[in-house]
Amino acid sequence: MRIGFISDIHGSFTALEAVLADIKKEGIDQLICLGDTVSLGPQPCEVLEALRESNAVTIMGNHDQAILDPEHSAEFEITSHLIPDLEWGVDQLSAADLAFIRSFKDTHTVKFNNGIELLAFHGSPRSTTDLIVATTPPEKLDELFKGQSASVFIGGHSHIQMYRRNGKNLILNSGSVGNAFLYPFTPGNPPRLLPWAEYAIVEQDGNFLRSDMRRVYFDIDKLLGLVKKSGLPGTDWWVRQYAETP
């Protein structure tokens, strides 16, 4: 079984399109999206249509929750300067689009033939807003994964790819399709974006379990052209990010 994992698309269909083209060449059996699908970027409707067409299993992210309930976006840890972009995204979506987002799952379990069980989520199995990074203390990880039968865990939310073992558990992060971060977000330290999209492939091959962390370059000029035409309140932020790309 060969599974592709994408996450944190954030309305960038230009980046998603490049990732899906790479995934198509890899011949995966299933596509799982780990949440944060449409907010902040210029192409929310195109992203949702691509997820429908690919029959992706899609997990609910904190930004997806905020799209469905923008008046309570602070509860989903959406910072105030992002609210105008969130509201712009809501205005682009149809009733059918919103119904599709409501159908997203809290978590998703995959059972491999060799008995290994994988659990997919956004932030953690407990909350969309939990942040798991390479420096999260082991005791905190033990708390977040307590009582779970899975031994392989994969999430998004941090916008940074990760491969980490904690005891018997393997903890993965597929990174971000639409907003790959240079460093983990911390309050007062705005994120810097990298010039590629990220995703992961997890594969069972006999007794082997493999994970493949991938980066795919996409047409940034095309994306910025769409941003400038879109009327997004955060247009200047997008332009600055890619102008300052390291």
- For residue range 74-124, list pLDDT tens digits in order: 999 999 989 999 999 999 999 999 999 999 999 999 999 888 999 999 999
Tokens 């953690």, located at residue: 124
Model confidence at 246: pLDDT above 60:
no
Which one of 3.40.50.2020, 3.30.830.10, 3.60.21.10, 3.20.20.105 gives the CATH number of domain 2-243? 3.60.21.10
Q: Which backbone phi and psi does 113 adopt, to 5 degrees?
A: -65, -25
Distance, CA of 188 to CA of 99 (rounded, Å): 35
- How far apart (Å, rounded) are the C-alpha atoms in residues 158 and 218? 21
pLDDT tens digits, residue range 9-65?
999 999 999 999 999 999 999 999 999 999 999 999 999 999 999 999 999 999 999
pLDDT tens by residue, 122-168 = 999 999 999 999 999 999 999 999 999 999 999 999 999 999 999 99
Taking the model in full, what pTM does it have?
Answer: 0.95
Residue pair 179/40 in contact (Cβ under 8 Å)? The answer is yes
Report the pLDDT value the prediction gives residue 242, as an integer from 0 to 100: 83
What are the percentages of helix, strand and coil residues in the chain, rounded to 5? 35, 25, 40
